[in-house]
Amino acid sequence: MAIHDSILSTVGNTPVVRINRLAPEGVEMYVKVEAFNPLSSVKDRLALGVIEDAERRGVLKPGMTVVEATSGNTGIGLAMVCAAKGYPLVVTMAETFSIERRRMMRFLGAKVVLTPAAERGTGMVKKAEELAKKHGWFLPRQFENEANAEMHARTTAREIINDFQGRRLDWFVTGYGTGGTLKGVGSVLRKERPETKIAVCEPANAALMKSGEPQPRREDGAPERGHAAFEPHPIQGWTPDFIPKLADDARASGYIDEMLTISGPEAMKWSRELARREGIFVGVSAGGTFACARALAERAAKGSVILCMLPDTAERYLSTPLFEDISPDMNEEELRIAGGGA
């Protein structure tokens, strides 16, 4: 076991795990489990990448405060990086995201500023921009920062290339939040594994990339009701109410071979299935990505090999509907067992 100079050198090198009980017959399915990052999500890579890039460019100096808008995982990753490097951190986050996320960020020393639910992703980004301008704080701009995609090209993509060296890889399946994973991994796969197709997943009722349209807004800035993107979905971290620049870049570059959609209930179902039948404990976005990958596997040619990204841990969702049927008290069967019944 290696000895690390700081927690930051443990980011990346996450395992690829074969799916044994949930894969359709004749198709090999693998998952890249990003919960093995130190703060349990793929966004640890983004956080380290954008901060170290800013340091190299001289736009982030010792003592400066970092401020960023996030659905939670990026903020948690940034809180880790800023704690290790000594930067104060302020996070803006829509109040709809899980309580665990804001508590974790505060536990790591960050300040969390909540924005109204009705303003969604646009509102929290606007607040972060406002605070950065007012105080002269450093704003990473994760949705458009090229260092985000470059970090994935340098780490995530290289790990995939190395893990599948000399092996077949027909599909890479991922969701998108900022678009960093999609653009970074997509750019490398197109050059070095051009036979590998890329499928991108998003919520069925917020399919911004598939529709090619950002969420329309009224003159007063509020979302237009009736548009698909307005409807809430439980897949936290997927599709803000705008198409991120990095994701749009990936689409324009031809990195997307197929767009897939999944409903919130299906995403949660497959998160639970991964836990109960594979022992893989991951969140709702991971369940959604896996559901799309499995649907692809059902119609793939025999012998196909599919790799699916699993972005984070299920522990981020304890207060959400993912765990609503999981009681801390004993159920009837457990009471029978406790009482010595059959």
The domain spans of the chain are 7-36+157-323, 43-135
pLDDT of residue 238: 59
The model carries a pTM of 0.89
pLDDT in tens, 13-70: 999 999 999 999 999 999 999 999 999 999 999 999 999 999 999 999 999 999 999 8
pLDDT of residue 244: 86
Mean pLDDT of the chain, nearest integer? 90
Assess whether 43 carries a catalytic annotation: yes
pLDDT of residue 230: 41
CA dihedral 237, 15, 36, 283 (to 10 degrees): 40
Which residue in the list 71, 98, 271, 285 is annotated as catalytic?
285
108 pLDDT above the threshold of 60: yes
CA dihedral 314, 315, 317, 322 (to 10 degrees): 50
Which residue in the list 43, 71, 183, 271 is annotated as catalytic?
43
Note the helical H segments in 109-252: 120-135, 146-154, 156-163, 180-192, 208-211, 245-252
pLDDT in tens, 233-247: 556 555 666 788 999
Average of per-residue pLDDT across 301-321: 93
pLDDT of residue 2: 87
CA dihedral 228, 232, 234, 239 (to 10 degrees): 50
C-alpha closest to that of 70 among 10, 37, 107, 111:
111
pLDDT in tens, 247-270: 999 999 999 999 999 888 899 999
Q: Is the dihedral of CA 68, 72, 77, 81 positive or negative?
A: positive
Q: Judging by DSSP bridges, how do beta strands 89-94 and 111-115 pair with one another?
A: parallel
pLDDT of residue 100: 85
For residue 96, name the pLDDT band (cuts at 50, 70, 90).
Answer: confident
Same fold for the domain at 7-36+157-323 and the one at 43-135? yes
pLDDT of residue 342: 58
- Specify whether domain 7-36+157-323 bears CATH 3.40.50.1100: yes
Give the integer Cα–Cα distance in Å for 233 and 336: 37
- Most confident option among 210-219, 238-247, 311-320: 311-320
Which CATH number, 3.40.50.1100, 3.40.50.300, 2.60.200.30, 3.50.50.60, labels domain 43-135?
3.40.50.1100
For residue 71, name the pLDDT band (cuts at 50, 70, 90).
Answer: confident
Window from 25-29, 222-226, 292-296 with minimum mean pLDDT: 222-226
Residues found in the chain: 342
